[in-house]
Structure 1
Amino acid sequence: MGEIERQPLLDQAVVYYDAVPGDPPAPVIDVPTRKTLTWSSAYILVVSRVVGSGIFATPGAIVRSAGSVGLSLLLWMVGTILSGCGLAVSMEYGCMLPRSGGDKVYLEYTYPRPRFLASTLIAVQAVLLGFTASNCIIFGKYTFFAFAFTPTENQQKALAVGLLTAITIIHGVFLRTGIWIQNVLGWVKIFLIGAISLTGIWVILFKPYDRLKHHPSQTLLSWDSLWEGSNWSWNLLATSIFKVIYSYAGLNNVNNVLNEVNNPVRTIKTVCPAAFVTAGTLYLLANLSYFLVVPIDEIKDSGELVAALLFERLFGPHIGKVIFPLAIALSAAGNVMVVTFSLARLNQEIAKQGFLPWSHILSSSKPFNSPLGGLFVHYVPSLLVIGLPPQGDVYNFILDVEGYPAQVFALAIAIGLLLLRYREPLRKRPFMAWLPAVWLRIIVCVALLIAPFVPPPGGKSDVHFFYATYAVVGIGVLLFGVLYWYIWTQLMPRRGGYRLEEEEVTLSDGTSITKLVQLYQT
């Protein structure tokens, strides 16, 4: 046996082991002692992440694809059920493995072989597609709409980038202030979506049709009119369901930051269902309000401004066209804050595991006890997505591109849950997902992954791209991740004559990591 040379390569999160009799050990990532998130903060973290731009911006695109009020409402109900199934899966995982990282932790634990593959794919997806560009774009559109200003493309991009930059600085330098601001904006958002939702009830009770200049009975109160113009193309329906599911994205947001949550298991079991019921009820009532107040043809042509049209019709050009659109802009800003907060910590966990360059720097919490490195990793792709593509259909395209790889991971996680139940039947599970919900999640994930390649009528989608472009881009990101994993963990070690092993290290700020080192044999 020759001499072994050790050469530091990358950093990986330190792993402890929480063994259960009869089970293989479960990795437990080093947990900080400070718990900064209470139950209410965790609830706002979830609700504010879920109720983002989706309910304010996507209904127009969904109606344009579905073609009718009835089919649009049906798609929202189907998407709500599917999101609930996904939430049940995430809750079982979160209660079973209560630590920060979310899907990354679950995939790593469920699929330890091939070594580092699951971690690499999550890292690539988080870095390349973990951006908040869509809500920054919505912030800009509603802000300019409120001030009756028609911006140039560069002006719209500049405002979106300015929001992203300000939020990154706040979360990086003023940690507690950032949490306080996102809590306040979260409650503003709940009030706003509540106001939209109650609008439909108000219209039904008081029937102010003369003021609205629109009588909803022709669409909502007649069965034939309800389904008139329905488009049953599976391709367009699938993209619409992606958008609905995107509107519920973040139901498991608290899973990403469990290290900072008081009583994480109890919080998951109460916060997540509460947020789901809140969002589902508000979404259904909000859609009814849109259809009761705004004619369907205007909704189809509204782009991302359907909520602005609703308030303008209800409250006139002053309050309705200024105050409420500004509130929606603040709501989008609140969503950017909570997404940035959670994804920065996910990026920090990825850096701790050594799947990013300069991991010892990016995983540190110096000097403000915040994940500055993770914030930077989140900032760069968001900046590029906002600044580089042309405006127009970019918002819906971003949603679809984000959604496709997410369905691949959702499928792997749902299948993995069944594998773990078979492989580790004795493991403690404080919450167990209903088995039919898990199978429904699997079936629908498969269907949604196939659907984009089914040509719509005439071979044209509701955006100015090849109908399967977003799926191709999503698959390309995953294939890039596989290629990166193969080069880093297989090809380079084989050609370099070394293997990767782990070495525990504590950084100067107290962060525990594990350096991956190259072991050479001579």
Structure 2
Amino acid sequence: MERPGSNGRATYPPSNTSIMVTKDFEMTSVTSEPVVMSNQYSFPSFYRRGANRSRGSDRDSGSKALNEGSGKEDPDRVEYPPMPEDQKLGYLSTIALIVSKIIGTGIFAKPSFVLQNCGSKGVALFLWTGGGFMTFCGLLIYVEFGMAFPFNGGEIVYVEEAFPHPKYLAVTIVSIIFVLITNYAANAVMFAKLILQALNPEIVNPDYRLVKFIALVTLTAVCLLHTFSRRLGVFINNFLAMYKMILVIIIIITGAVAMGTGKGKGPAVKGLEYIPPGVHNFDDSFGFPFKPTMSEWGNSILGVLWAYTGWENANYVLGEIKRPPSKETKIFKVATFGSISLITILYLLTNVVYFGVLSTEELMTDNGEMVAAKFLIKVFGNGPFVEKGLKVFVALSVLGNFISIVYGLARVKQEIAKLRILPFSKFWAKQSHYDTPVGALALHWIFVALIIIVVPNEKNDDAYNMVTNLFVFGQSWVVLLVCVGMLFLRYGNNFHNWEPKIIRWSVLLCIIILYMIMNIFIIVLTWWPPADGYTSSIPYYITPTVATVVLGIGFGYWVVFAQILPRVGYHIDSEPDELVDGSRVVCYKRHKTGLAKDISDWWDTKLKKRKTFWRKM
């Protein structure tokens, strides 16, 4: 990428150079000898280039420091100081953010769901392998974007850069998707239900009021954790990520031993014939006891992809990942590719031991137990360990998943607020004295709490499952925009010299097209009518309809925000300046002309008259 007139190279002042901010917000170097860097690490024009600036001792003095030359403080200019390098995320913490977001309940529940819909163990393993392959396709695209735009925000930054016209349209729609339906409220509800079921295994559906209360307490506790101590939040997330990996590895080892010895404690489901663990359970792996419908194929694919959800979490916090000199992208690349490779292998091995220990009939029978519970019942018997212990173990996995999610989404929503798209953006973009995105955490809390409270109670969790499917549907549209944005990045006028750093463009282009086709297929499957045995209390078309309405809300919001308000004279623009050291300066410019100016002047005059009246009183 290049700035016009730079001949493919970006110039930076040396790190010991002071910076002067001119009246029109441009940053210029006091010295005359710039340092020339290759365009491998050059930043896009949207994020203005700057030099390393020292982190002031007073976090609230940023705007004052920037306006020393003008003699007054500009209330519309906000500085987000850089994070010290030693406080940024290293290999372990970055991997933990990805692992913890991916491993929730998926690998403990979805394998039987996938098999029940596709009907074949061999095909199910193929789908889990394909899910890993699809994840790698998306990861390659996102890593290339992350190397080009090494900032917090993920898709918000990529879409804003790739679609500058019509102004704010693409980024507004994506922002509305993130604010309204990317919240993972169902995870907090699932954690609450698992805890209550562990306390009293006989109650399959605990009191919904108690479930909602515990979910709200969990949400509040996690948001407060990330508000008051970023370091403690990262530490807990690291611990729970390692715990999840150990839990999955224990399942794999236990299953391998059971398959090797061929010993079990009895059938996993009462009333079924006992078939001991072993490789014989893979006999006729590609036989179909029934012919899956298109809707059932779609359910299988969505179940697999849901278990892999979270691979993009490092892109959301990329500005907080360490960038060692001369190896700026190493930690990011190693953490993303390493974690996804490890998870794909663990997922496949876990499915192998599930299928080797449990018979097809045991897996296909829906008795309300997740596949991990059936697995442990067959290996150890149906005792207190399975009834209570497993639910606690899975609940801790869900909690770690939720902690990782809130950490990443808070950074994304703070970037949305910095673009000044939302009402009260200055508050939502606020950074606390603990260097945490307190405003974005408050925004996240509001919408997640709203979902938890408003969504009606369903014994089979159909309503919360619909909320989850809304996210999958919306995320498919976001990914499509990102893929098209990558094409614009390569062939557009702004970045026509950009080249991918990991693989050749011709190979990446094939991956982009394939990934777009797969996501279009997912969107089509969401609209596909289900089979006759559809049992959900919510009609199948509700999920894609509501998600499409959210897209429409995003477009309508853009019409008001970017078209109608400017026409009546109210303009507001933001100019984010990303500096090389990771600091951020956002300059907000307000303009009032025509009708808006007349109304403002009238209100100011009326307000002054009131003040004068009360002073006389």
TM-score (norm 1): 0.88
The within-5 A match list for 1:242-261 is: 242-261=302-321
Q: In structure 2, how many angstroms separate the alpha carbons of the residues matched to 1:228 and 1:502?
A: 57
Task: Tell me by how many angstroms 1:438 deviates.
Answer: 1.9
Q: In structure 1, how many angstroms separate the alpha carbons of the residues matched to 2:589 and 2:172?
A: 14
The residue number in structure 2 matching 1:450 is 524
Q: In structure 1, how many angstroms separate the alpha carbons of the residues matched to 2:259 and 2:26?
A: 57
Q: In structure 1, how many angstroms separate the alpha carbons of the residues matched to 2:220 and 2:377?
A: 31
Task: Tell me by how many angstroms 1:519 deviates.
Answer: 4.1
Which of 266, 272, 282 lines up with 2:330 in the alignment? 266
Q: In structure 1, how many angstroms separate the alpha carbons of the residues matched to 2:82 and 2:573?
A: 25
The residue number in structure 2 matching 1:492 is 565
Which of 126, 145, 154 lines up with 2:178 in the alignment? 126
Q: In structure 2, how many angstroms separate the alpha carbons of the residues matched to 1:328 and 1:58?
A: 13
Q: In structure 2, how many angstroms separate the alpha carbons of the residues matched to 1:285 and 1:362?
A: 43
Which of 460, 471, 479 lines up with 1:410 in the alignment? 479
The within-5 A match list for 1:66-81 is: 66-81=118-133
Are the equivalent residues in 2 in contact too, given 1:498–1:518 (CA < 8 A)? yes
Which AA in structure 1 matches 2:84? R
The residue number in structure 2 matching 1:238 is 298
Q: In structure 2, how many angstroms separate the alpha carbons of the residues matched to 1:297 and 1:16?
A: 68
The residue number in structure 2 matching 1:394 is 463
Which of 433, 437, 448 lines up with 1:382 in the alignment? 448
Specify every segment of 5 or more residues in structure 1 that has no aligned partner in the other structure, as ranges: 1-13
Rg comparison, structure with higher value: 2
Task: Tell me by how many angstroms 1:512 deviates.
Answer: 2.8
Q: What per-residue deviation string (whole Å, max 9, x for no partner) do you get for residues 461-480 of structure 1?
A: 46332223211111111111
The alignment partner of 2:373 has SS state of helix
Task: Tell me by how many angstroms 1:487 deviates.
Answer: 1.1
1:515 to 2:588 alignment: yes
The residue number in structure 1 matching 2:612 is none
The alignment partner of 2:183 has SS state of coil
The alignment partner of 1:369 has SS state of coil
Task: Tell me by how many angstroms 1:165 deviates.
Answer: 1.5
The alignment partner of 1:518 has SS state of strand
The residue number in structure 2 matching 1:158 is 213
The within-5 A match list for 1:359-378 is: 359-378=425-444
The residue number in structure 2 matching 1:92 is 144
Aligned-residue CA RMSD (Å): 2.9
Q: In structure 2, how many angstroms separate the alpha carbons of the residues matched to 1:24 and 1:328?
A: 42
Higher relative contact order (CA 8 A, sep 6+): 1
The within-5 A match list for 1:64-463 is: 64-149=116-201, 150=203, 151-209=206-264, 211=266, 213-215=274-276, 220-223=281-284, 226-263=286-323, 265-299=329-363, 300-303=365-368, 305-316=370-381, 317-389=383-455, 390-391=457-458, 392=460, 393-423=462-492, 424-427=495-498, 429-432=500-503, 434-435=507-508, 436-458=510-532, 461=534, 463=536
Task: Tell me by how many angstroms 1:334 deviates.
Answer: 0.5
Task: Tell me by how many angstroms 1:43 deviates.
Answer: 0.8
Q: Given the superposition, is the C-alpha separation of residues 398 and 33 from structure 1 closer, same or farther in structure 2, using an over 3 Å criterion?
A: same
Q: What per-residue deviation string (whole Å, max 9, x for no partner) do you get for residues 223-251 of structure 1?
A: 2x643334432233223322322221221
Are the equivalent residues in 2 in contact too, given 1:347–1:374 (CA < 8 A)? yes
The alignment partner of 2:329 has SS state of helix
Which AA in structure 2 matches 1:473? V
1:59 to 2:111 alignment: yes
1:27 to 2:46 alignment: yes
Task: Tell me by how many angstroms 1:481 deviates.
Answer: 0.4
Structure having the larger proportion of residues in helix: 1
Q: What per-residue deviation string (whole Å, max 9, x for no partner) do you get for residues 256-294 of structure 1?
A: 111111025212211111111111111112222333334
Q: In structure 2, how many angstroms separate the alpha carbons of the residues matched to 1:16 and 1:249?
A: 40
1:466 to 2:535 alignment: no
Q: In structure 1, how many angstroms separate the alpha carbons of the residues matched to 2:114 and 2:210?
A: 27
Are the equivalent residues in 2 in contact too, given 1:65–1:462 (CA < 8 A)? no
Task: Tell me by how many angstroms 1:489 deviates.
Answer: 0.9
Name the count of aligned residue pairs.
502
Q: Given the superposition, is the C-alpha separation of residues 74 and 231 from structure 1 closer, same or farther in structure 2, using an over 3 Å criterion?
A: farther
Which AA in structure 1 matches 2:403? M
Are the equivalent residues in 2 in contact too, given 1:348–1:363 (CA < 8 A)? yes
Specify every segment of 5 or more residues in structure 2 that has no aligned partner in the other structure, as ranges: 1-24, 29-36, 49-79, 268-273, 598-617
Q: What per-residue deviation string (whole Å, max 9, x for no partner) do you get for residues 41-68 of structure 1?
A: 1111111111122212333432333234
